[in-house]
Amino acid sequence: VVATKFNSVNEQIQNEVNGLIVDMSPKGIMNGVITLLTQNSLREKCVANALSEEIENKNEIDKVYDIIN
């Protein structure tokens, strides 16, 4: 997973544990993708950790419902 820096990204992604958190720019995204493509051990670690977790957006969805209601 390559995710850009946004307010709640740390609730879902741990940088270099289950994905990469990069700058919210084309260059940041490009560098993150290249990093995962070229660093096999980091990619394998992130994939294994991500597959072992249940990541969801429940907290963010609850915030939207709070605003609506």
E runs forming strands in the chain: 2-4, 20-22
Count helices and strands (H / E) in the chain: 4, 2
The SS3 call for residue 4 is: strand
Could you report the per-residue pLDDT of 1-13, keeping only the tens digit for each? 999 999 889 888 9
What is the model's pLDDT at position 43? 96
Tell me which residue of 28, 39, 1, 6 sits closest to 17, measured CA to CA.
Answer: 1
Q: What is the pLDDT of residue 53?
A: 79
Helix (H) or strand (E) holding 21: strand 20-22
